[in-house]
A and B are shown apart, each in its own frame.
Chain A
C-alpha cells in the first residue's frame, strides 16, 4: 500500500495562508489524493481531493506536484476555526479498495 508522510505539527498566524505538505512517493497512477481534517471529539471532515490537476473549493486549494509524489493543502486565510488535525490519504480507483490508513496527520495550530 502506498504511504503518506506529513509533519507532526505546524503553526500559522490568523488570516495568513497555510501550506500543509504531504509526501506520497509510492503513489500509483490511479490513486486519488484526499485531505480531511478532524476537530477534537468529532469525526473527520472532508476538505478536498484530486488526481492530477490542482483543485480549488470553498474550503481550500490542493496543489499536486507534477510527478504526483507530493501535494500541498493550501488554506488561503487561516482562521481559529481551522485549528485541527489534517490528514492526507490515498484512495485507489483500481485493485484493492483497501485504502491507506490515516496516519497521525498534522496538528495545525492557528495563533490569534
Chain B
C-alpha cells in the first residue's frame, strides 16, 4: 500500500519556467489537498478537491493551478515559477472531509 506518492522529491527551476508536481493516492480518497511549507512556518493550504472534477482555492492559491480528472491524481501546476514559490510542497488526502489526513513525503522546490 503506497499511500500518498509525490514526485519529484527535489526540483530546481529558473524564474519563469513551468512545472507540475505530481500527487497520487491509492486509497480511493475523495479529499485531496496541496500545502506549502516555508522555513520555520506551518503548512498553508494552496488548493483542495472534494472529489473528481471539483477543486477550490485555499489560503494561498495565486500562481498555482490544479485539476482533478481522476480520484487518484491531483497535480499541482506552476505556470511561471517565481523565487517566492521556493518551498516544500506537501500533498495530502483523506477518505472524508473530516477524517484523518495522509501526507506525502514532500517535494522540495527551489526557484532561482
- Mask: chain A, 89-112; 1 = CB below 8 Å from B; 0 = not: 001110011110111110000000
Which chain A residues border B56 with CB–CB below 8 Å? 96-98
B31 touches A102 (CB 8 A): no
B98 touches A92 (CB 8 A): yes
Q: Tell me which residues from 67 to 105 in chain A have a Cβ below 8 Å from any Cβ of chain B.
A: 85, 87, 91-93, 96-99, 101-105
A102 touches B98 (CB 8 A): no
A98 touches B102 (CB 8 A): no
Which residue on A lies nearest to B33, using beta carbons?
Answer: A99
Of B35, B90, B99, B101, chain A has the most CB atoms within 10 Å of the CB of: B101
Contact of B43 among A45, A96, A101 (CB under 8 A): A101
Label chain A's interface by main secondary structure.
loop
A98 touches B48 (CB 8 A): yes
B101 touches A102 (CB 8 A): no
Interface of A with B (CB < 8 Å)? 32, 34, 36, 41-46, 49, 85, 87, 91-93, 96-99, 101-105
28 contacts between A and B (CB under 8 A): A34-B100, A34-B101, A36-B101, A42-B105, A43-B106, A44-B43, A44-B90, A44-B92, A44-B101, A44-B103, A46-B101, A49-B99, A85-B42, A87-B43, A91-B97, A91-B99, A93-B97, A97-B48, A97-B50, A97-B56, A97-B97, A98-B58, A99-B33, A101-B59, A102-B35, A102-B43, A102-B44, A104-B42
